[in-house]
Amino acid sequence: MNPISRRRFLAGSALVTGGAILSRSGLARDAAPQKPNILWITSEDNSISWVSCYGSTNAKTPAIDQLAKEGFRYTHCFDNAAVCAPTRSCWITGMYAISNGTQPMRSRNHIPHDKIKYYPDLLKKAGYHVSNGGKTDYNIGGRSDNDCWGQSGGKKGGKKGGRKGRSRYGWRNRQSGQPFFANVNIGDSHESRAHGPGGGAGKDPAKMKLASYHPDLPVIRTNYAKYAAAVERMDAQVKKCLDALKEDGLYEDTIVIYCSDHGGVMARSKRFVYSSGIHCPLVVRIPEKWKQFHPAAKPGVTVDRMVSFVDMPKTWVSLVGGEPPETMQGTVFLGKGIEPEPKYHLGFRERADERYDSVRMIRDKQYAYYKNYMPYAPAGQYLAYLWKAPATPAWEKHHREGKTDAVTGRFFRPRVSEEFYDTVDDFDNVKNLIDAPKHQKKIAELKAALRAKQLELFDSGLIPETMRVRRASANNTTIYEMVRNEKLYPLAKYLDAADLALVRDKKNLATFVKGLTDADECIRYWSIVGIHLLDKNAAPAETAIAKAMTDQAEEVKMMAAWTLTKIGKKDQGLACLREMLFKGSKNSQLLHNTLDWMGEIALPMIKEFHKAGKGKRGKYGTSIFGHIAQINGF
């Protein structure tokens, strides 16, 4: 649908304030609370590009639009992780998932729960009834996701029902007069609603506005229409939730917050830290009785303050008069405890389901800088769940038939090491300005800011995921604690090694060869990555690369074998990978990714493995190898 006119959704002009009609039917209204009630409504998978008060023409969202008229619409709100579980890990702890080691999708790595409190624990301590009516998915081991809530789950809709007769609207189950914090999650806009055949009832595919990176194909237009209809159903659920609050006589006693849990949902949005994956709607309605918390002069106007999702838990604790713990890494953006606006927003991407990747992004309100730590892998890797939406395989087929251009085909090609975008001029992030002379000062500023933030947060992602887990286990510690021990995780050293590898300068070959003998397997890993990215210029290091195929770290071994095939030693490299594939590997998922990235040269091996009846199905459907078999006809 993009590009949307930036002026439309970032405009600072006031909106007409809408009135609220309150109903006194249903529950009797409690005495006015001394603390504000808070209702946090979250929807799944929709970026600003699907909300009409932000300029969308594909979907109409009158309930959210009306909330914006009565409240404050934030123009620069960004998710940190672009996909659900790592995002919700940030939300529950108030910490960046990369700081805890909880960023890989469905990893559930442990954290020290004696040191890190969940924000509902702190709200309960402040006297609040806390409820979660919808979704947890915190991606953290060692504690049940529901443990921190006074109530979790419940029947969708009415006052009674669900387990133990509890309502989805958790405030209805609190003690009389008790202030509440209720999170109501709405799944009607989830990615799954774009799966399967058919379009959206009442939505005309011909009127859909497509992102510039999507080819204009009928199936893609139909899929857009299908999802637009899902967004409108989500908006209807927002209205039902607000109507329930009004019915209970609580609308003027409650601060209402609406946002999505990340962007989406057509391919190249959700899971990716481009604007369409992280730029999210945020609307806050604050009743007159709590007007001291207003973030602007009057309701109905826009607020251009930068807000990151990691800011939200700290803000909720501050709003209820609690004391945010030192572990929380965000910034309070609302209420009497408001803190200075941060200058930058940090985003990250790592493994999503079965596909590996590693990206860091830092941006201000206009410019975004990206560092691709695995640029040899295309952004558009086959991922079973993502390919369930008809638009994705149609796009891939269009590309395989040679019909895409430089913009629509880039998703499926290996990447450059760095990207830089003017997000005001180029919301879709398709014009990479990394080499533009006029932007070098800003690029240098953002690169320095990114490194400083990675050091501040103890970014755990500078060591491959499997190696990271292995090292923490060997030292009987959590990843959180490991990355804070410089002897176990010398982050500055790893950042330097990664940066050197990503430069792709053949002058560094001798340094990489020396690094292959380092006692630290992570330095050996970045050294082989550096050699790999030199392509044919790596040929003088043939002997060192061949020796690296005997490395005890399989992450190094796999990359060495692939690199050897790239410089022309096909038989040796493939023999190493074949042995790992057929005799077993402790990192089979990474191995399958690597063989896919290698392309045509690995096809005979994959075909043999597939025909032996192995690797056909994955957790969410057809596996990586199964998909390769489908598109190659074996």
- Parallel, antiparallel, or unpaired for β 254-260 and 279-285? antiparallel
Q: Report which residue type is found at 284.
A: V
What's the pLDDT at 155? 56
**C-alpha span between 469 and 467 (Å, rounded):** 6
What's the pLDDT at 28? 38
Name the residue with tokens 């993009």: 2
Tokens of 573: 């490299």
Domain(s) labelled CATH 3.40.720.10 in the chain stretch across 6-10+37-344
Q: Report which residue type is found at 298.
A: K
How many other C-beta atoms can be found within 10 angstroms of the C-beta atom of residue 510?
A: 12
How many other C-beta atoms can be found within 10 angstroms of the C-beta atom of residue 550?
A: 10
Segment 90-149, tens digit of pLDDT: 999 999 999 999 999 999 999 999 999 999 999 999 999 999 987 999 999 999 999 999
SS3 63: helix
The vertex-507 CA angle with 501 and 511, nearest 5°, equals: 60
Segment 156-169, tens digit of pLDDT: 444 433 334 467 89
Angle between helices 491-503 and 440-457 (to 10 degrees): 150
Q: Report which residue type is found at 112.
A: P
List phi, psi (to 5°) of 440: -65, -35
Q: Using 50 as the pLDDT threshold, list the residues of the chain that sit under it.
A: 1-30, 32, 156-165
**C-alpha span between 209 and 435 (Å, rounded):** 30
**C-alpha span between 79 and 72 (Å, rounded):** 18
Given 3.40.50.1970, 3.40.50.2020, 3.40.720.10, 3.30.1490.20, which CATH number is that of 6-10+37-344? 3.40.720.10
Residues contacting 379, CB < 8 A, separation 6+: 268, 272, 357, 410, 411, 415
Task: Tally the residues of the chain.
Answer: 634
Question: Can you give 482-546 as a three-state secondary structure string?
Answer: HCCCCCCCCHHHHHHHHHHHHHCCHHHHHHHHHHCCCCCHHHHHHHHHHHHCCHHHHHHHHHHHH
What's the pLDDT at 133? 86
